[in-house]
Amino acid sequence: MGSSSSISRPARPLAVIVLAGALLAALTTSAGAAPATAVGYDIAFPQCSEHGARYPSGAAFAIVGVNGGPATADNPCLGPGHNQPGQVAWAAASPGLATQPRASYYVIASDPGPGAAAWPAGRTQPERCAGDWSHDCAYDYGYLRAGSSLRLARWVAAADRWNHVPAADPVGAPWWVDVETGARWATAKTPGWISLNIAAVAGFVDGLRAGGVRLDHIGFYSTIYQWRHITGLDASTSRAYFSPAHPDWVAGAKTLEQARSACARTRSFSGGPVTLTQYASGGFDADYRCP
């Protein structure tokens, strides 16, 4: 499971008292009451630092990336460590909205092909995979990576509860499958590349569902361009492969005003409802909850 060893294990009872006090103090200053403009933020491994994590203030809700860089790497700041709050605890301390829970998760999807770390081989479940770049192997890769991320999130939730800091329920929370061109995907150089990428994305979805996450709690993060570039699909053709119950989280806005406009149905890339839009704010990625 990637680099999960870098996340602090649950403390002994005596250490819990000291650690919990430090974490709760940090969380109190960064969370607090809901801001006047109820927007959230998403954070992940780029916000990690050995000199102390830097999180945005005034978040109404938060979305935390579980893996980082390659899909096989874990976010080392997901849980508590170095006497500072983990990112999930920080998210869980936000007030939340009536239509948006305090903490959600996202997982970076990819389809790197044979030779990549953790590429499946010699498997019979969930699909038979010999290790080649086939539909079944791409599906298995996504399925297994999503399952690994969900297990890590559950472990962090247990660690947060043990340390008496705000904790989230990974199974009951929304999850987002991040489909971006910055990750490794099959390209036109690979025969059947579009179907391979679709299979990988479907594997990520089904891996989360197998872990107990509700179908309508699993959405996609992307843009019209990136979704089409990777899967070859649009809002109409996506329905042949993915349920319209999956919501869309639309990236690309530069301002809050643009983010509000991006809630339009025409900005959907997978055919599902647009429920969140992202925009740049103060050096962080802010997120607007659509009406």
What the chain holds in terms of domains, given with CATH numbers, is 4-289 (3.20.20.80)
Q: Is residue 41 exposed (0-12), middle (13-18) or buried (19+ Cβ within 10 Å)?
A: buried
CA atoms within 13 A on the CB side of 220: 32
259: left (phi over 0), alpha (psi -120 to 50) or beta: alpha
Cβ proximity of 175 and 212 under 8 Å: no
Residue given tokens 């962090």 in the structure block: 156
In sequence order, the 6+-apart residues with CB closer than 8 A to the CB of 279 are 253, 254, 255, 256, 258, 259, 285, 286, 287, 288
- In this predicted structure, what is the pLDDT of residue 53? 66
Residue 141 sits at φ, ψ, to 5 deg, of: -60, -50
Helix orientation angle between 193-210 and 135-162, rounded to the nearest 10 degrees: 30
For residues 120 and 144, the answer to whether their CB atoms sit within 8 Å is: yes
Return the residue matching tokens 């009872």: 13
Judge residue 225's burial from the number of C-beta atoms within 10 Å of its C-beta, 0-12 exposed, 13-18 middle, 19 or more buried: exposed
Q: In this predicted structure, what is the pLDDT of residue 174? A: 98
| Residue 239: burial class (beta carbons within 10 Å; 0-12, 13-18, 19+) | middle
What the block records as the tokens of 61 is: 């809700």
Tokens encoding 26: 């940090």
Tell me the pTM: 0.88
Distance CA 99, CA 258 (A): 21
Residue 72 has what pLDDT?
A: 79
Q: Can you give the pLDDT of all 291 residues of the chain as single tens digits?
A: 233 333 333 333 333 333 344 444 444 444 444 444 579 999 998 888 765 667 898 999 999 999 976 777 899 899 877 566 799 999 999 999 999 999 999 999 999 999 898 999 998 999 999 999 999 999 999 999 999 999 999 999 999 999 899 999 999 999 999 999 999 999 999 999 999 999 999 999 999 999 999 999 999 999 999 999 999 999 999 999 999 999 999 999 999 999 999 999 999 999 999 999 999 999 999 999 999
